[in-house]
Amino acid sequence: MKREVLLEDFYIDRGGDVDRTHAALIKQNTIIEDSIKIEFFLNLKNEINSWADLPLKPNERKTVQAIQVLFDDAEKIEIFNAEKFIASSKCGASIYFVGTVRDLNNDKKVTGITYDSHDALVIKSFEEIYKEAETKFKFENIAVFIEHIKGHVTLGETSIIIAVACKHRSQAYEFSRYVIEEIKKRTPIWKKEHYEGEDSKWLKGNPLIDQNQLK
């Protein structure tokens, strides 16, 4: 049995004015956590993707494919941005590190990952790591590109790109390795893994404040 609940009902029960009550309801509805929204759309996307395995008619399959395109039209990070950024005739070697989502972690089947981060502190961390590497190695004519995705990525999709161009390949390898290892150690980026047949789980990430700075 359904019963329609009117705003006036809420107003009478609360004894307040309709405008203020309406504003309160709107505020209440807008504080849903992003993770809950992501979970909802992830489940919806997975459900739609499962339709592709059904014996659909041609027009039904086209409809499903069109919906899948809408879901997949989220902003991605692309390697051609990195290629364009580090291109230089002064550099004889370019290294690209591309991190992607794999299908298995700790014996669990992974279907995707949701990344979250403190954007301002991530940029600050990237800049600090770059400057440290620059001071450590003292390479001349170097170009570095770092980008990490925020939001949901599915299997095989790119989560991070690090591109380094130097005079020599040994320099590019060395610089790139330092950058990715330091990002993994301390940049405040967190990930929630989504599993097949199991609840999603936030994995241990880096703190907002470097604990070494508190000593």
| Per-residue pLDDT of the chain in tens (215 residues, 90 and over written 9) | 333 333 333 333 334 444 444 444 443 443 344 456 556 666 777 777 777 677 888 887 777 766 766 665 456 888 999 999 999 999 999 999 999 999 999 999 999 998 988 888 999 999 999 999 999 999 999 999 999 998 888 899 999 999 999 999 999 999 999 999 999 999 999 999 999 888 889 988 787 765 555 45
What is the per-residue pLDDT across 113-129, written as a single tens digit (0 to 9) for each? 989 888 889 999 999 99
157 and 180 assigned to the same domain:
yes
- Among 45, 184, 65, 187, which residue's Cα sits nearest to residue 112? 45
Q: What pLDDT score was predicted for residue 209?
A: 63
Do residues 8 and 18 touch, judged by C-beta distance below 8 A?
A: yes
Could you give the 3-state DSSP secondary structure of residue 149?
Answer: coil
Beta bridge partners of 153: 113
Q: What pLDDT score was predicted for residue 54?
A: 79
Do residues 199 and 117 touch, judged by C-beta distance below 8 A?
A: no
97 and 186 assigned to the same domain:
yes
What is the per-residue pLDDT across 135-173, written as a single tens digit (0 to 9) for each? 999 999 999 999 999 888 889 999 999 999 999 999 999
86 and 47 assigned to the same domain:
no
Q: Which domain holds residue 56?
A: 34-73
| Number of structural domains found in the chain | 3
Q: What pLDDT score was predicted for residue 64?
A: 72
DSSP state of 154: E
Q: What pLDDT score was predicted for residue 43?
A: 73
Q: Is the dihedral of CA 201, 186, 129, 183 positive or negative?
A: negative
Specify burial of residue 203 (Cβ count, 10 A radius: 0-12, 13-18, 19+).
exposed
Q: What pLDDT score was predicted for residue 39?
A: 65
Cβ neighbors of 66 (< 8 A, separation 6 or more) are none
- Among 113, 107, 97, which residue's Cα sits nearest to residue 150? 113
Q: What pLDDT score was predicted for residue 15?
A: 44
Q: What pLDDT score was predicted for residue 61?
A: 76
9 and 53 assigned to the same domain:
no
Point out the domain boundary residue: 45, 73, 101: 73
68 and 120 assigned to the same domain:
no
Specify burial of residue 54 (Cβ count, 10 A radius: 0-12, 13-18, 19+).
exposed
Contacts 24+ apart (CB under 8 A), 57-65: none
Q: What pLDDT score was predicted for residue 38?
A: 57
The whole-angstrom separation of Cα 25 and Cα 67 is: 31
92 and 195 assigned to the same domain:
yes
- Among 169, 164, 170, which residue's Cα sits nearest to residue 183? 164
Phi and psi angles of residue 96, each rounded to the nearest 5 degrees, phi first: -120, 120
Token reading at 26:
């709107």
66 and 82 assigned to the same domain:
no
Helix (H) or strand (E) holding 171: helix 169-186
The whole-angstrom separation of Cα 96 and Cα 112 is: 23
100 and 16 assigned to the same domain:
no
